Amino acid sequence: KQEVTQIPAALSVPEGENLVLNCSFTDSAIYNLQWFRQDPGKGLTSLLLIQSSQREQTSGRLNASLDKSSGRSTLYIAASQPGDSATYLCAVRIIQGAQKLVFGQGTRLTINP
Amino acid sequence: DAGITQSPRYKITETGRQVTLMCHQTWSHSYMFWYRQDLGHGLRLIYYSAAADITDKGEVPDGYVVSRSKTENFPLTLESATRSQTSVYFCASSDPGGVGTDTQYFGPGTRLTVL
């Protein structure tokens, strides 16, 4: 059974810092991996999607990497801003599971002005 | 309004009552999903649908019923609500093969409390 883990559960850093969020998964047989952002009381917003054949994806100040063989992904946020404060979740699409995603429990990020 | 909407946004009900949560999307996405989000468990898939009249169980389907007679709607029914079904419910949709392939788009959620 695929399990997705995100460490740390919470992270607080001062504004302007570059930071890395981690995601690990137990079964390397994945179709793709997505990073989402969730603001308090809101739904999830997709940030980046990496196909299993890709090593990284970039969008603005965000860069996500994928190392399928080691079961790891990282989300790099450059020059963090208070508006980046949110919970970040990663999710893997399991190959056998027709569009089904398995989510980690998220990292709650706080950027202090 | 364009996008994916859920109603109601908040619902309080009593144990044993039937409750239906509504989900509507305007993109004509083929896939739709229902998740529940709980502290300590994260997001878990309840049911999903690949197309109208095609549904399948997810990780935690017990106590829930779904239907999909139209592509744009995917209601979730709790036939006899229990306190353990108190949660935040999210609906999502995706369009395999389209732009942003596999990206799931989420609704704003319904916060359900069962007393």
Of B106, B102, B105, B71, the C-alpha closest to B88 is B106
Phi, psi of B79 (to 5 degrees): -70, -40
For the stretch B91-101, pLDDT in tens is: 999 987 655 56
pLDDT values of chain A reduced to their tens digit, one per residue, 113 residues? 889 999 999 999 999 999 999 999 999 989 899 999 999 988 999 999 999 999 999 999 999 999 999 999 999 999 999 999 999 999 999 876 667 889 999 999 999 99
The answer to whether the Cβ–Cβ distance between A104 and B94 falls below 8 Å is no
- Closest chain B CA to residue A40: B108
pLDDT of residue B98: 55
The answer, for A52 touching chain B at a CB cutoff of 8 Å, is no
Residue range B51-71: mean pLDDT, rounded: 94
Interface of A with B in 18-37 (CB under 8 A): 31-32, 34, 36
- Closest chain B CA to residue A2: B59
* Terminal CA-CA length for chain B: 33
The answer to whether the Cβ–Cβ distance between B40 and A105 falls below 8 Å is yes
pLDDT for B2 beyond 80: no
- Comparing B38 with B101, the larger pLDDT belongs to B38
For residue B42, give the DSSP letter: E
Q: Are A56 and A73 in contact (CB under 8 A)?
A: no
Cβ neighbours of residue B36 closer than 8 Å, sequence gap 6 or more: B43, B44, B46, B60, B85, B87, B88, B89, B90
